[in-house]
A = this chain, B = another copy of it.
């Protein structure tokens, strides 16, 4: 199993197509054409369309859940942790623009792993919310409804995959810094 680059190519191509049209609208024949082969040949590498979606989504979801745990248990103060969460999102979205689209838009089409995915997402959001609540408790963060704060940040971070491709001149660090400024400091002078 050294050279599984063909399978990875298929998954990468699939993710690209899924981003453009969504999982349901992409057929195995579409994917095959994009790969320069016939649909039946795909099955020498993958076991089903569903498996492709699973691989794309679950690996990213695990990255997020694991990433925020490390941040939560780090030594920073809570505003620092939020900045790290922003960096985490920017990093994953930059490295995996296509996969992020599936994670956001096609998770409901997971069949066998839907419950697992949802448990990862719930865990992630619970930890995120804890950071915000602890930041309010320690007077680092304004006492606004913490769920609305999380919603604002998470909506922005989850949409990154839509905007990053349009702004290739912007490097990941600059983007993360600008986002931290805006999301944490606000925009008014």
Contacts and interface: CB of A to CB of B under 8 A. Distances in A.
Interface of A: 20-25, 79, 105-106, 108-109, 139-142, 144-145, 147-149, 151-152, 155-156, 158-159, 162-163, 167, 175, 178-179, 181-189
Q: Indicate the member of A139, A144, A185, A186 with the most B CB atoms within 10 Å.
A: A186
B139 A152 contact: no
A175 B151 CA distance: 11
A108 B142 CA distance: 39
B159 A155 contact: yes
Given A155-B159, A159-B159, A178-B148, A189 B140 contact: yes
A109 B151 CA distance: 27
Given A22-B24, A185-B188, A188-B140, A156 B163 contact: no
Contact of A155 (B105, B140, B155): B155
A101 to B, nearest CB: 10
B159 A147 contact: no
Nearest to A155: B159
A175 B152 CA distance: 11
Contact of A142 (B162, B167, B188): B188
13 contacts: A23-B25, A79-B188, A105-B105, A141-B187, A144-B178, A144-B182, A144-B187, A149-B182, A155-B162, A158-B159, A159-B159, A184-B186, A185-B186
